[in-house]
Amino acid sequence: MLNLLEELEQRAAQELEGVNQVKELESWRVRYLGKKSQLTKLLRSLATLPLEQRKAVGAFANQVKAKLEDGLKQKGQVLRETQLVTTIKEKHIDITLPGRPFPVGRLHPITQTLHEICDIFVSMGFQVMEGPEVEWDYYNFEALNIPKHHPARDMMATLWVDVENESGERTMLLRTHNTSQDVRVMEKMSPPIRVVIPGKVYRYEASDATHTPVFYQIDGLAVDKGITMAELKGTLYEFARRFFGEDRKVRFRCDYFPFVEPGVEMAIECSVCGGAGCRLCGNTGWIEILGAGMTHPQVLRRVGLDPEVYTSFAFGMGIDRLPMLRYGIDDTRLFYGSDLRFLRQF
């Protein structure tokens, strides 16, 4: 009996040595110290032994049990410690490491330019307004002195929406310019009015390096008593100074737009050649950036304003040109191409 116990103790000790996982330790415990283990059975059967033998074997068996329990406790502790160390090693977070970068979106260069332009005009007392891109012929053309069959319609090849009036004439279109908002604004607000209108416009044109069928414009409108051409020029000079820099030269020349009288175009000195003449400016040294003028009396009358009392100036510019000039980009299609390698630069 004693031999059996000794043997059992040795075997248990040996096996315990080989245990290196918490799970294995548990099955070791069940095997040697569990209810159905040899040792437990033996301890239970002590009662059947004669007294002398029972004392000797009982004492020894309890010793063995105590040793095994001790071994179990120690091993348990060792295993738990090593496990903790590996967990810390595997899962620890080094808070001194820099964060993982993740891709962040950014504003499109055209949007950035629009924001910048709006900020400049807002600081001069203008408010920003937007309007519908699908527009009535009336606001885009008629109300701006461009009746049906007027030659000025040819300047803006129009994309029509399939909506006709009783006489079979198309009445709805994709706005060809933001000037279409001017009459809407004057119908809604009363003077003094100072607004800028940024947004998309559409023209039925093939794309090339300087044209796309969809592009952005910003229009401006000021209506009040006593507004003169001097206010128009002053406002646009100030804008050019702030957007292009203090010493960029600006030029005004006469131009014709049916909704203004007089009408002008404003050009700035070419940023690429500094006025000497190059491909971008068509060898003129100047780049036209906007059309402007004093709102036509007929347009004012149409919204119930007396042109003897109220005067108004208006301007409109395509804004794609501006980042092109600033960054020396020679193809406007790049802005609409969704090529992230290009767009990420801004």
State the residues that interact with ligand DAH by CB under 6 A. Answer: 177, 179, 219, 257, 260, 263, 291-293, 314-316
Rounded distance between C-alpha atoms, residue 276 and residue 285, angstroms: 5
Phi, psi of 138 (to 5 degrees): -55, -50
Report the nearest approach of ligand DAH to the CB of residue 197 (Å). 9
Nearer to ligand DAH, 269 or 288 (CB): 288
Report the nearest approach of ligand DAH to the CB of residue 156 (Å). 7
Report the nearest approach of ligand DAH to the CB of residue 185 (Å). 12
Measured in whole angstroms, the distance separating CA 132 from the mean position of its chain's CA atoms is: 23
Report the nearest approach of ligand DAH to the CB of residue 287 (Å). 15
Nearer to ligand DAH, 271 or 295 (CB): 295
Report the nearest approach of ligand DAH to the CB of residue 177 (Å). 3
Rounded distance between C-alpha atoms, residue 109 and residue 125, angstroms: 25
Strand partners, 221: 195, 314
- Which amino acid belongs to residue 118? C
Report the nearest approach of ligand DAH to the CB of residue 125 (Å). 18
Rounded distance between C-alpha atoms, residue 18 and residue 24, angstroms: 9
Other C-beta atoms lying within 10 Å of the C-beta of residue 302: 17
Q: 202, 217 in Cβ contact below 8 A? A: no
Q: 297, 243 in Cβ contact below 8 A? A: no
Nearer to ligand DAH, 285 or 291 (CB): 291
Other C-beta atoms lying within 10 Å of the C-beta of residue 284: 13
Nearer to ligand DAH, 126 or 257 (CB): 257
| Closest to 181 measured CA to CA, from 303, 98, 59 | 303
Nearer to ligand DAH, 37 or 140 (CB): 140
Nearer to ligand DAH, 199 or 293 (CB): 293
